[in-house]
């Protein structure tokens, strides 16, 4: 799963922006949605966690994510979620915003559990049973679910906000374009430095576009005045 991870970010941004207190915007929640992947790629670069390539168990994502307990175990994801949520809550002086940010981070494990072949663990040690429902082994249903989640969340965000349509359309177009690259183009046989860099660059581009989008969307507050999301 790639763009489907951003569905919770659209929903969270829509909720927090409608509260009286200013809080984190769409760009922040885009970072939260794939925070564990940011860290995973960084850890893979220095050999702490590992990834293979070349058409393994997942048809729609031919990479073998075989050693990633510090980021993609349930405990690891939970730690990153609590840490990120605490930072957001403290920065904005808003417990609710921090809780939402933590939930967006935590949603990554749940979505991976649904999509990925068994490979997720519960503990930081990476020992014990592995989990994953393996929907990505079935290309049609996997693509349908990813598109449905993303479209529904994007529509929810547009429905609850007002402003220029160019920014959100550009954001969604880039998201879809990057996803199509994953689905259609040949993938590398070796997951090396170039692969990690491409992943991180894609995440940064989407976060920047999401931030730009959020800055130009307006949500009705309880007072009836329009406030811009960030």
Domain ranges of the chain: 3-228
Q: What is the DSSP letter of 186?
A: P
Residue with token string 């430095």 = 193
**CB distance 165 to 172 below 8 Å:** no
Neighbours of 188 (CB within 10 A): 13
Neighbours of 165 (CB within 10 A): 11
Percent share of the chain, pLDDT over 70: 83
Backbone angles phi, psi at 148, to 5 degrees: -65, -45
Paired strand residues for 162: 218
pLDDT at 129: 85
Burial 6-22 (b: 16+ CB within 10 A, else e): bbbbbbbbbbbbbeeeb
Chunked in runs of 10, what are the mean pLDDT values of the chain (230 residues)? 95 81 88 96 84 51 66 96 97 94 98 89 86 88 95 96 93 95 71 78 96 87 51
C-alpha dihedral sign at 18, 24, 27, 28: negative
pLDDT at 32: 98
Give the containing element (helix H, strand E) for 65: strand 63-67
Q: What is the pTM of this model?
A: 0.89
């Amino acid at each position: 799963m790639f763009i489907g991870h951003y569905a919770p970010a659209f929903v969270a941004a829509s909720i927090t922006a409608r509260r009286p207190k200013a809080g984190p915007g769409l760009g922040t929640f885009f970072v939260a949605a794939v925070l564990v992947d940011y860290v995973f790629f960084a850890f893979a670069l220095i050999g702490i966690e590992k990834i293979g390539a070349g058409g393994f168990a997942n048809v729609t994502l031919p990479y073998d994510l075989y050693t990633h307990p510090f980021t993609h175990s349930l405990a690891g994801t939970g730690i990153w979620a609590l840490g990120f949520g605490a930072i957001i809550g403290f920065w904005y002086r808003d417990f609710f915003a921090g809780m939402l940010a933590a939930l967006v981070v935590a949603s990554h494990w749940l979505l991976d559990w649904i999509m990925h072949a068994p490979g997720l663990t519960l503990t930081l040690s990476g020992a014990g049973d592995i989990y994953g429902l393996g929907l990505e082994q079935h290309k049609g249903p996997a693509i349908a679910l990813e598109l449905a989640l993303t479209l529904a969340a994007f529509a929810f965000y547009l429905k609850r906000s007002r402003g220029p349509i160019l920014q959100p359309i550009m954001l969604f177009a880039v998201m879809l374009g990057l996803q199509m690259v994953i689905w259609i183009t040949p993938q590398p046989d070796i997951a090396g430095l170039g692969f990690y860099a491409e992943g991180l660059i894609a995440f940064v581009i989407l976060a920047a576009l999401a931030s730009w989008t959020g800055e130009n969307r307006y949500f009705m507050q309880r007072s009836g005045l329009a406030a811009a999301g960030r």
